[in-house]
Amino acid sequence: MSAGVGRIPRPLDGIALRDWAHTAVLHLIAHTDEINRLNVYPVADADTGTNMLFTMRAAAAQADEAVKAAGNDVVAVSAALSAGALHGARGNSGVILSQILRGVADVVAEAASQRGEDRECGEITAPEFTAALHHAQVLAVASVGQTVPGTIVSVLQAAALEAENQNGLTDLAIMAAAVSDAAAVALERTPDQLDVLAEAGVVDAGGRGLLVLLDALTATLSGGSAARPLYQPGAGHPRADHDHDHNNHEIGGTPPQFEVMYLLGDCHPDNVEVLRARLLRLGESVAIAAAVAGGQYSVHVHADDAGAAIEAALDLGTVSRIQVTALIGAAGARPSGGWSRDRAVLAIVDGDGAGELFGSEGAHVLRPDDGPISAQQFLAGLVGTGAAQIMVLPNGFLAAEELVAGCATAISWGMDVVPVPAGSMVQGLAALAVHDATRQAVDDGYTMARAAAGARHGSVRIATEAALTWAGRCRPGDGLGIAGDEVLIVGHDLVSAASGLIDLLLSSGGELVTVLTGAGVDPEVGVALAEHVRQEHLAAELVTYHTGHRGDALLIGVE
């Protein structure tokens, strides 16, 4: 176990629970393709990792709202995680994951009730963690209606037993690490328990996803977790294009055509088994998960007749959020209704002011840390939008190879991603100004791309050393007006260089000049440039925003 050295373990309070959800999303992003390659049970549709990722993302988004509303209230955050996972559950594995989170919520709420506390500053104790795992196991079995050895339920059972063995501990971080290690051992045993896994040479995909979640918890509490091997199909594994004949080991023949999911509200508990029996006559992989509040259920089934699977519930309650996904010949197909919004814009920006500016225009914002953005960070931003279609504004902060890798992976997970060629934040603003979510994605993307391309842009920086440029010699402290990769203007200071660059950009026409000022730039620079435009370019208007970006002092665009 490589826990964080010298770090004091965190209590598992409301904030930590929310942070765990986000850490779990990041870890699932890193392992989604690995988990998908292991997916042979109950149907070899290569989506277990994707389903767990988007289910956990929905839970994390709900936890964010709970923290905003209730702060560090562990009861509220755990309930939000459960509700978010139930409403956003994707696939059989997502339904089971929602029940694991419900297990935590139920136990935390019961403990608070018994103590007569609101638990606003409370935390999940080691005994409560143990009880939550045991309760989650019971709920998971109830949701699928049977116990099949060698699945995620087996791994969950091993985790619960190890927590019970460690129950004398008060350090939850140490207990979580031990539980994760026990889950890893149980995961290695799954091929010995389920023939379809042994034949394919894989461990259980859902169990691998659960191990990712447990390792993420350890990392959240202690700062580090154990290094795990890469779990992959064994030598000679026949699964190449999702076309081998492994499916439910109890049901032979051709797998069903559709995965059907929906929420069922206002349903009496006695009718759950009625619905389960109906669905079992229509298909397989039936899972029915209950919400913390009674009467609402997440329903999942694989069936040939999607309509009949939906109709089976119509007289038992209120059906909503219907998702139907083709299982045959449609790997990566996007389920209808499985997203919190149809379309979003993801803008990669730098600086507090830039974040506020793009955010106020409706974009989701991804900001680089100290170094360049990786494909994994980019994927986390895409997933975080919760949208089925995402228009991406790289704005010069994302390398082409990372952009392509991230988009390709997201598309393979069923997301529609449209990168807009914006090479600067000023081009990104021009594209964002014409974004219209009511248009078709291809039309929206084309319109945004035209707007970005139509914004001529450059930047101004301060010279740090003497050099010979295309515009002549520069000295330290001079202002350098840059367009493309070349220095076109050398001025004695920032304002003179920026004025010269604006004149050059406006020489081909233009009505609006946008100036973004970086970290440490005096506000008077914007005032001076506005006066220059007023005097020299009567038909043009200049607007200035302080974005606080790093690097070039000014970013300038002309439309």
Q: Which of residues 326, 349, 365 is at a domain's end?
A: 326
pLDDT at 3: 47
Q: How many domains does the chain have?
A: 4
Residue 332 above 70 pLDDT? no
Do 100 and 185 lie in a common domain?
yes
User: Distance (Å, rounded) from C-alpha 524 to C-alpha 245?
Assistant: 70
**Is 253 part of any domain?**
no
Q: Which of 92-96, 185-189, 339-343, 457-461 has the lowest mean pLDDT?
A: 339-343
pLDDT tens-place string over residues 342-364: 899 999 999 999 999 999 999 99
pTM, full prediction: 0.78
pLDDT tens-place string over residues 190-226: 999 999 999 999 999 999 999 999 999 999 999 888 8
Q: Convert 297-314 to b/e letters by CB count within 10 Å (16 or more is b).
A: bbbbbbbeebebbbebbe
Q: Which of 107-121, 171-185, 451-465, 508-522 has the lowest mean pLDDT?
A: 107-121
**Is 494 part of any domain?**
yes
Model confidence at 242, in pLDDT bands (50, 70, 90)?
Answer: very low
Residue 6 above 80 pLDDT? no
CATH number at residue 492: 3.30.1180
Of the two residues 115 and 546, the one the predictor is more confident about is 546
Residue 118 above 80 pLDDT? no
Average pLDDT of the chain?
A: 88
Q: What is the mean pLDDT of residues 165-181?
A: 88
Do 481 and 377 lie in a common domain?
no
Do 438 and 464 lie in a common domain?
no
Do 172 and 314 lie in a common domain?
no
Do 404 and 525 lie in a common domain?
no
Residue 12 above 90 pLDDT? yes
Q: What is the mean pLDDT of residues 252-268?
A: 81
CB distance 266 to 260 below 8 Å: no
- Tell me the β-bridge partners of 544: 515
Residue 247 above 50 pLDDT? no
Do 58 and 190 lie in a common domain?
yes
Model confidence at 16, in pLDDT bands (50, 70, 90)?
Answer: very high
Do 74 and 196 lie in a common domain?
yes
CATH number at residue 144: 1.25.40.340
- Tell me the β-bridge partners of 456: 558
pLDDT at 46: 81
**Is 9 part of any domain?**
no
Domain range for residue 374? 341-453
266 Rama class: left (phi>0) / alpha (psi -120 to 50) / beta: left
Do 439 and 472 lie in a common domain?
no
CB distance 167 to 157 below 8 Å: no
pLDDT at 441: 84
**Is 146 part of any domain?**
yes
**Is 270 part of any domain?**
no
Do 43 and 179 lie in a common domain?
yes
First to last CA, the chain: 56
Do 367 and 443 lie in a common domain?
yes
**Is 262 part of any domain?**
no
CATH number at residue 422: 3.40.50
**Is 317 part of any domain?**
yes
pLDDT at 240: 36
pLDDT at 339: 66
Do 177 and 301 lie in a common domain?
no
**Is 473 part of any domain?**
yes
pLDDT at 516: 97
Do 142 and 182 lie in a common domain?
yes
Laid out side by side, the sheet with 512-517 consists of: 486-491, 479-483, 456-462, 554-558, 512-517, 541-546
Q: Which of residues 399, 434, 453 is at a domain's end?
A: 453
